[in-house]
Amino acid sequence: MTVSLNSLDIAKPPAATRVVAAMSGGVDSSVVAALLKRQGYDVVGVTLQLYDHGAAVHRAGACCAGQDIHDARRVAEAIGIPHYVLDYESRFRDAVIERFAESYLAGETPIPCVECNRTVKFRDLLCLARELGADALATGHYVASRDLGTGHRGLFRAADESRDQSYFLYATTQEQLDLLRFPLGGLDKVQTRALAAEFGLAIADKPDSQDICFVPNGRYAEVIERLKPGAARPGAIVHLDGRVLGEHEGVLRYTVGQRKGLGISSGEPLYVVALDAQDARVIVGPREALSVSRVDLRDLNWIGDLALADLPPEGIEVAVRVRSTRAPREARLLADGEGVHVLLAQGEEGVSPGQACVIYDHAGSGARVLGGGVIMANRAPRPTPQPEPAYATS
């Protein structure tokens, strides 16, 4: 007897399908748990406590701490599912917070959400889901996954492009993706909040999480200096033409593309064009100096059908995003003995080392994620040495 696939593409009746719902305490993950429960699945809610929530309790925009854990527990009680809170603080600190600090001190602009999804949430939580006998792990991300007909699943941009979170999930491995489900991939935020109200959830109007969860008030430099006291080195702010324009208190306070808050006076608009952590220099220049046409990648995660080793010498046409706020742009992907490179069809500004470059099969709606990697720093431009003053000889 053939068993038809349920709504999660699993060949079991919903009642015989155990799903672990990752519940952050927000609207999205709460609606996912409620939807699955209404559809008859055997749902187990799990919330991760990821950091010391002292500074974040009652702070709008926090997640995975204090009030959010309480909210997740209330939702689980309201919809009638078991709920567990797991203390993952030490894992989160080692895998996410420490790496975040080290990356900033190296002159990069990291994305801790990518690292959190890749490690603590998807790696560690998936292991727990398997231990609980789950057939799937469901999250509240706005992204879609579909059966490719090959025994594996593909990752695709969400229907609501304004909410699409595929940029933050590019590091999901194929093994993880095969077990993950994203029930909100076809919805927009208005529909999700309407469902929360329909379910009678008290968090229906709760604000969305903002910024980095473990950085109160967005003051990331303070967090890094507390984690790595004395690690920030002062240095010079140098123009590309060689002029020293001022001093800074640490490259961790700057990011490529930054214009405001440089603390220098100039007759022209200046932007951070590079960070030289080794020599503690912040290098600034005109806007046109920000344009980049080639991006080199490290720590690549590839979930495309064609193996990277099988790419033709001329590469393949793709689309890429070099910032979470930008739409995919046409590019060419190449892999050779020196690594993986992206050639942009049009130059991009503010391409910052440490950010992600996410690769899609095309630039349109519903594009499939082929993978991505961390943007590597190009060799820091050497400012033009200033000529020595000429002195008269006797």
Catalytic residue among 63, 64, 113, 213: 213
Q: Which of 359, 103, 358, 96 is nearest to 255 (CA)?
A: 103
C-alpha span between 245 and 371 (Å, rounded)? 40
Exposure of 241 in the CB half-sphere (CA atoms within 13 A)? 5
Q: Which of 242, 219, 259 is nearest to 104 (CA)?
A: 219
Report the Cα 296 to chain-centroid distance in Å: 18
C-alpha span between 365 and 159 (Å, rounded)? 7
Catalytic residue among 64, 113, 116, 357: 116
**Binding-site annotation: residue ranges for ATP:** 22-29, 48, 140
Exposure of 320 in the CB half-sphere (CA atoms within 13 A)? 31
C-alpha span between 355 and 126 (Å, rounded)? 25
Contacts of 88 (CB under 8 A, 6+ apart): 48, 49, 50, 120, 124
Q: Which of 303, 378, 270 is nearest to 145 (CA)?
A: 303
Give catalytic status of residue 116 as yes or no.
yes
Q: What are phi and psi of 313, to 5 degrees?
A: -55, -30
Record the tokens describing residue 358, joined without a space.
């996410």
**Binding-site annotation: residue ranges:** 22-29, 48, 140
Q: Which of 247, 139, 238 is nearest to 185 (CA)?
A: 139
C-alpha span between 104 and 225 (Å, rounded)? 11
The DSSP string of 241-258 is TS-EEEEES-GGG--TT-
The DSSP string of 167-209 is GGGTT--HHHHHHEE-TTTT--HHHHHHHHHHTT-TTTTPPPP
Give catalytic status of residue 113 as yes or no.
no
C-alpha span between 162 and 239 (Å, rounded)? 37
Record the tokens describing residue 146, joined without a space.
């579909």
Residue with tokens 């919809």: 79
Which are the catalytic amino acids?
116, 213
